[in-house]
Structure 1
Amino acid sequence: MIKNKIKAIKIGFLIVCILPTISQALDKEDILKYLVKSSYPEVKVIEDENQEKKNNKEDVETTNNISEDDKEFVNVYIGEENKPEENDSKSSDKQSKEISRILDSDYKNNLRITKDKPQILIYHTHSSETYSDSSKNNYHSTDIEHSVMAVGSVLSTELTEKGWGVVHSTKYNDLSYNESYAASRKIVSSVLSKYDSVKISIDLHRDGQSLKTRQAIKESHDKYTTEVNGKRVAKFFLVVGQRNKNVGELKRQAEEITSLAEKKYPGLVCPVVTKQYGRFNQYMADNGLLIEIGNNATSTKESEETCKYVAEILDEYYSDIK
């Protein structure tokens, strides 16, 4: 009780004395950056190199890696060059056809539920992540046919065929990037409250790198794809946020899944990535996974081909809770 009172006094002091001083010292853009840093410790705000030439730009997240120190953050750019693009009205008919090829009639209200008591949730915090064959070219758009949601749909089907009940969410959570994890957290909370049978949550992404030349794209593609059973497939890896209270269990599972994948399909999986300041909603389910399949140099097809192997690996690893 005494500790709680002391904490409350400290918070009150912060609100009354410190925040007004900070607000007076900063302009609107600086306040925005301050709030992002304070609210999302797993996010690092980075200045866009053309920032001085731009005004009134939205905060947008990107997965570009800049230095060794930056690898522990999810990067946030102030600028619109990586903002997810919306399809205009002229392409609405095409988009509907694309969706119909990927998201069958079982999807209702952005959800597909393959059994009455599903055990796995698949969702996408960065739903707009697209692959190299997307016509939008900026790797973040509502081009659903070439997105992580298309790959998630394939993974949900592969797991269902192995006897799992799966909830797959196709809701866009990153049209406002700094709110993406808060938005996807609502999905996880809603699904878990409705289906207590769900024991595994998978936040499915694709990795992102800064690739500015055709040669860089080719080198990245060659590095992050491999051949399995005569087909070129994208590599995958797991990410663990170090700020989760259950980080020990999360890392143990990630390492064991990685070891199993390497044993079954050598070269298909990359080492586990740990993010010092991340949580990524992994604490919410008993088994919270963040999986990256492919990157912005690999194709949608190559990433979809990976799903059958990821499903096989997860099915074997979690067989005791099936």
Structure 2
Amino acid sequence: MQKHTKHGIIKLYKFKSPDYMFSVIVKAIIVALCAYITFSCVNMITNKKIKVAASKELMETGNMLAQEILENSNIMTQYMIYLENHKDIAEDAKKRILTTVVTDYIAKSEYTYDTSDPAYSQVINILYENMKTENQIAKKEVETTAKPVETTVKNNEKNNNKKKRNKAIVPLPKKSGKLYTEKNIGSFKEVINRFYTVTNATTIKESDMPIKQALNKEFKITGNNKKPQILIYHTHSMEDFSNTTKDEDTTIIGVGNRLAQILREQFGYNVIHDKTKYDIVNGKLDRHEAYTQSKAGVKKQLKKYPSISLILDIHRDGVNDGTRLVTEINGKKTAQIMFFNGMSRFKLSGDIDYLKNPYRFENLALGLQMKVNAECYYPGFTRRNYVNAYEYNLSLGKQCMLIEVGAQTNTYQEAKNAAEPLAVLIKKVLGE
């Protein structure tokens, strides 16, 4: 019933009986309960699906990160070497140490990952189980060697692959020499007198390499091995040794091969080894334009792979025929090496304008840090750092080194052996 007033239409309701009202209320309650139950069921099913999906996503994330660590770092290799040297550690302690090591890796990685994420425990578990599996494989190989048994072709292949992976593993050194720091290394003059040979053609000043700043300068191989990180090349690719054959691997290129192998297989870096013969012109040996040609070649590599952060020009020196640059490391006859710096400066006329090097301090600092670490871990392995007048393509980057590995009087085996401690020094200075 409606009634018209000046304020509009007012609805008028007839009075209903109590029984009728009660039935309406009961129906309303039933409808509400049904709606609530339906909503709760739907919500419960939805939440369960969300939790399952979230759990699955966390598992996938954990698996993915664990795989990345296994493929792109030397964590497992270093961790297993550590455990091998500390066999009495309890299982729970092993896991705690692994957690610390992996967390540190993630913190330094270019990727971000929340270690409070529940999937993080999954990452540790995957890595830990991988470590145990690797140890079990290694033990089986030892048992197979001790007790000859018949094996299938498949098992033989697995063992051969394992041995192949371990072929490039270099023992990590302990401190066996003097550890130099800014507190005990001495003055600039003392450092030059102790560690350097400066030719009469050039000069090096304290302002070129302030010792404290040089020792504290941070160097790092950036990125991960999904993209190239290190470039090895040879301005003088035809340099050979006392017993070099027609095989390219017995020349300085063979030293580059061995260095690249260790940096890849033991330390997990992505390495490009440029074997271009920059000192061959029209089919003949010609070193007059070798540095010009190699600089152009390296620039092309850097343009193609801007992720490269360490550039190594590997040479061998030329010495008097009676000179033998040999030491012994890990029971092997090993060629001594030398870090080479160019000042782009003549002693009399000053800086060479057409050979400017904006990274002179970084080059010198890196060479000093490599030398100091060598004195600590491999005393007798390195010769005095050599400083000469020209630029030697060291302006190509802040992390750029020219390294002389042995000389023509060394055997190529001695030179290739030198790649092993050299790789460890690179890892210590630029990777730790």
Q: TM-score range by the shorter chain?
A: 0.5 to 0.7
- Whether the aligned pair in 1 keeps the contact of 2:232 and 2:314 (CA below 8 Å) is yes
* Deviation beyond 2 Å, 4+ runs, structure 1: 68-72
Matches within 5 A, 1:1-322: 69=200, 115-135=225-245, 144-161=248-265, 162-175=267-280, 176-211=286-321, 216=322, 220-221=323-324, 224-243=325-344, 244-276=357-389, 278-319=390-431
Please report the RMSD computed on the Cα atoms of aligned residues, expressed in angstroms. Answer: 2.1
Aligned residues: 197
Q: Distance in 2 between matches of 1:286 and 1:249?
A: 5
- Structure with greater Cα Rg: 2
Instruction: Return the letter of the residue paired with 1:230.
Output: G
Q: Counterpart of 1:289 in structure 2: which amino acid?
A: M
Structure 2 residue runs without a partner (length 5+): 1-198, 204-223, 281-285, 345-356
What does the per-residue CA deviation read over 1:189-227, in whole Å, with 9 as the maximum and x for residues that have no partner? 01100111101100000011242xxxx2xxx11xx1101
Change (3 A) 1:233 1:280: same
Corresponding letter in the other structure for 2:279: D
Question: 1:187 is aligned with what amino acid?
Answer: G
Residue 381 of structure 2 aligns to a residue whose secondary structure is: coil
CA distance in 1, matches of 2:253, 2:290: 15
Q: Does the C-alpha gap of structure 1 residues 228 and 166 become closer, same or farther in structure 2, counting only changes over 3 Å?
A: same
Counterpart of 1:209 in structure 2: which amino acid? Answer: V
Aligned equivalents of 2:397, 2:253: Cα separation in 1: 21
CA distance in 1, matches of 2:310, 2:420: 18
Map of 2:98 onto structure 1: none
Asked whether the equivalents of residues 262 and 420 of structure 2 are also in contact (C-alpha less than 8 Å), the reply is yes
SS in 2 for 1:178: coil
SS in 2 for 1:256: helix
CA distance in 1, matches of 2:273, 2:250: 17
Distance in 2, matches of 1:117 and 1:286, equals 19
- Aligned partners of 1:159, 1:262: CA distance in 2, in Å? 21
3-state SS of 2:316 partner: strand
Deviation at 1:143, TM superposition (A): 5.3
C-alpha contact (below 8 Å) 1:128/1:143 kept by paired residues: no
User: Any conservation in 2 of the 1:130–1:143 contact (CA below 8 Å)?
Assistant: no
Corresponding residue SS for 2:372: helix
Alpha-carbon distance in structure 2 between the residues aligned to 1:268 and 1:153: 20
CA distance in 1, matches of 2:338, 2:427: 16
* Offset, 1:146: 2.0
Equivalent residues of 1:226, 1:235 under 8 A apart: yes
Higher helix share: 2
TM-score (norm 2): 0.44
Query: Given the superposition, is the C-alpha separation of residues 283 and 71 from structure 1 closer, same or farther in structure 2, using an over 3 Å criterion?
Result: closer
Q: Within 2, Cα distance between the matches of 1:227 and 1:71?
A: 33
CA distance in 2, matches of 1:289, 1:170: 17
On the 8 A contact 1:121/1:202 being kept in 2, the answer is yes
Q: CA deviation at 1:115?
A: 5.0
Aligned residue type for 1:156: A
Q: TM-score, normalised by structure 1?
A: 0.58
Amino acid at match of 2:418: T
CA–CA distance in structure 2, aligned partners of residues 165 and 180 of structure 1: 26
CA distance in 1, matches of 2:301, 2:377: 32
Q: Render the CA deviation track for 1:133-171: whole Å, top value 9, x for unaligned.
A: 125xxxxxx752321101101100111121111010111
Deviations along 1:262-294, one digit per CA (max 9) or x if unpaired, are 110110011110112x11111112311001111
Structure 1 298/70 Cα, relative in aligned 2: closer, same or farther at 3 Å?
farther
Q: State the distance in 1 between where 2:320 and 2:383 align.
A: 19
Question: What is the distance in 2 between the residues matched to 1:154 and 1:311?
Answer: 9
